[in-house]
Amino acid sequence: MAAAGRILLFLLFLHISTAQAASKVPFHGLGVNYGQLGDNLPSPKVSVRLLRSIRATAVKIYDANPAILRALCGSGVVVSVMVPNGLLPSIGTNQSAADDWVATNIVPFYGSIRLRFLLVGNEILSDFASNSSFWPYLVPSMIRLNRSLRLFSLRGIKISTTHAMDVLQTSFPPSSGRFRSNIAASIIRPMLDFLRRTSSFFFVDAYPYFSWSQNPTSISIDYALFQGTSNLYYHDPGSALTYTNLLDQMLDAVAAAIAAEGFREVRIGLSETGWPNAGDLDEIGANVHNAAIYNRNLARRVAEKRGLRTPAMPDAVIPVFVFALYNENLKPGPGIERHWGLLYPNGTAVYEVDLKGRRPASSYPPLPPATNNEPFKGKLWCVLDTSGAVNVTAVAAALSYACGQGNGTCAAIQPGGKCYQPNTVTAHASYAFNSYWQQFRSIGGSCYFNGVAVQSIVDPSYGSCIFPSKEN
C-alpha cells in the first residue's frame, strides 16, 4: 500500500471510540482455542454461540478468518488472532506488507471485537525441517506488525507468538530451565527485549499429557491431573519451591529460562493446554475421564486463585487458552490429534465442564472409567478402515504414498509376492499401511493416512501372507 493510502486509512480510523480501552483488560477465567480443521464443524455464528454457552471468556483463532471475526462482533468475548506462518517472510521484510495485513484483517473489526493479542506464527521455533526458514523473519515480523498497530492507532493489542515446550533445552528441575542454544541468542533474546518494551507476554503451549504419557512410570497421572497428594509433590532443590502439579512445573521452567536471559519481568501466557478425550489404541491415558478431570481442575484452580499462578510467579496472572473447542476430524497424525475438543462437531459436550471453575465437583454426573491409563500390551496392526464407505481414490493415493516410503515396504504385494492376491487396492492398502507403520511408528509415523486407516488388535494375516507386528 502506498504511503498516501496508509495515511488515508489512518485518518479514517482516528474516530474509533476510546471505548477500545476495554481491550486492555486482561480476561479472567479460561479462553478456548477455536480450530477449523474439520469438514463437519458448525458455522462461525453457531460456534460463537457455543463458546458463550460453555462460558469461555476468550477465544484464540489460527488465522484472521473474516467470517469468524464477524461472528465475534459484539459478543464480548476477548479475541486473539494468529498470523499464519507462511506470511512471515513477506511481513518480516516489508513494512507495507505488514500495514496491508493489519489494514485488511484487523482494522475493519477493531471497533466491534475485543481484540487482545495478535500472535505472529504458530510454534515457529519448533519444527526445524518445516519452520527454520521462517526463523529469521519472526522477530522482524513482530516489530513491523507492532508499528502497523501504532500507524492505525489500534491500542490495547499486544503482539507475541506461540512456542512449544521444545524451545527449552533443559526443563528439570524447573529452576534450571534454559532455552535451546541454537535460538537463545539469535532469536529469543531480541524477542524478549521486544516483549519487555511492549509489555507483552511470552506464550507457550504446555501439555502435561505429553510429559506424562512419555514417562508414565516416572510421573504420576494424579500429579498431571492436579489431584496429587503431598507424597507426589516435587521440591525443587534449586529454588526451594514445592510443586503440586505438573503444569506449574512446566511453566516455571519457562519462567526460569526467561529469567536466565535477563528478562525476568516478561510475563508468560498459556496459549494451549488440555487433555485428549480419545486416541489410538496405543495412546495411553487419552480418554474422556482424564480430559474432564484435567480441564475441570484447571478451571477450578484459576477461579480459586483469581487467575493461573505458579510457585515462581505467585503475583503474575497467566492468561490461559484450553485446546480445543471441537474434535477436529481433519487434523493429521495420531488419533489424539483429532480428540481434544470440549464439544463434538454437532455442538454437544464431550463432557460437562464449567470454564468459570465455579461448579462444585460433586454436581457433575459420573464420568466413564479411565480404562487405558496403563500402556497397551499386545500386538497392533494398521489396516484399512472399513467401518464406513471406502473412498477408493483416497485409498489408492494413500497406498501409493506408503509404498514410496522405507525399504521394501510393499515388496510382498508385488506380482509373485505372498500378499499379492487378492489383487485389489483395498487388500493391498491394508498390507502397505501396516508395513509402513511398523517401520516408522517408533519415529512418529502414524496409522492415519488421511483418515483411511485404523489400528486393530485383530491379526489381518492370511495363508502365507504375514502382516508384521511387534509386541507393545
With H, G, I as helix, E, B as strand and everything else as coil, classify residue 352.
coil
261, 265, 272, 337: the catalytic one is: 272
| Of residues 8, 13, 21, 9, the one with CA closest to residue 157 | 21
Cα Rg of the chain (Å, integer): 24
123, 283, 328, 337: which is the annotated catalytic residue?
123
CA distance 237 to 247: 18
SS3 159: strand
Beta carbons within 10 angstroms of residue 47's beta carbon = 23
Is 123 a residue of the active site? yes
CA distance 398 to 335: 17
Residue count (the chain): 472
Amino acid sitting at position 193: D
Buried b (16+ CB within 10 A) or exposed e, 302-333: bbeeebbbbbbbeebbbbbbbbbbbbbeebee
Q: Is the dihedral of CA 154, 160, 161, 165 positive or negative?
A: negative
Active site residues: 123, 272
